[in-house]
């Protein structure tokens, strides 16, 4: 998967490649879909949610420039796969999940996998997690209609939000906080589940 779907498509950051080699994606997939665990496509989770295709996950991590990050907020824990990747790369992860069954499943699985640098919260991620702000990076795994102001307010100077925005036609954005406000870069068209 990593060689053909990630490296050949231009993802070159060694920490991301290493994390993807070390985290077995099939552990985060329902039994009925395990035969497709390493296919480059999103797969269904419970409650009308999905686990993103591996390339999209790698792209978002690369856009986040995680080598400069210590404190990361993940909005939308989902299966916990991206959370595990992040935990292999950065010092501290705070992950917020709205759906209680997904929250519990991911929390239990990552505890079994011995990830000690992840804290989980059951709640609405569009409000962030103020108690642990400011964040170097915020990665959002579902698409709101517009950029949540609460998330922008929880960034450090130089901090980045990687987020899909929109309803039908979604854009992947990298939003960087700087001394003049916020720089917004469009990074392609995407398709994510809505941020509830």
List the catalytic residues.
52
- Strands 135-140 and 118-122: what pairing? unpaired
Peptide bond preceding 134 in cis form (omega within 30 of 0): yes
Q: Element (H or E) spanning 101, and its range?
A: helix 100-112
Distance between CA atoms of 106 and 83, rounded to whole angstroms? 9
According to DSSP, residue 114 is labeled T
Distance between CA atoms of 66 and 14, rounded to whole angstroms? 11
């Amino acid at each position: 998967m990593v060689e053909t779907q990630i490296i050949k498509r231009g993802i070159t950051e060694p920490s991301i490649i290493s994390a993807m080699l070390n985290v077995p994606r099939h552990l985060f997939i329902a039994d009925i879909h395990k035969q497709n665990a390493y296919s480059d496509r999103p797969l269904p989770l419970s409650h009308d949610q999905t686990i993103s295709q591996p390339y999209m996950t790698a792209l978002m991590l690369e856009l986040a420039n995680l080598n400069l990050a210590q404190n990361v907020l993940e909005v939308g824990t989902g299966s916990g796969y991206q959370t595990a990747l992040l935990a292999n790369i950065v010092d501290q992860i705070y992950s917020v999940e709205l759906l209680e069954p997904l929250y519990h499943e991911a929390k239990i699985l990552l505890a079994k996998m011995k990830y000690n640098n992840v804290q989980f919260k059951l709640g609405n991620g569009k409000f962030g997690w103020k108690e642990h702000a400011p964040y170097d990076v915020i990665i959002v795994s579902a698409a709101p209609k517009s950029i949540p102001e609460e998330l922008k307010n929880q960034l450090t100077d130089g901090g980045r939000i990687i987020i899909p925005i929109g309803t039908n036609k979604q854009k992947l954005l990298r939003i960087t906080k700087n001394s003049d406000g916020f720089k917004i870069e469009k990074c392609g068209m995407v398709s994510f589940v809505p941020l509830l």
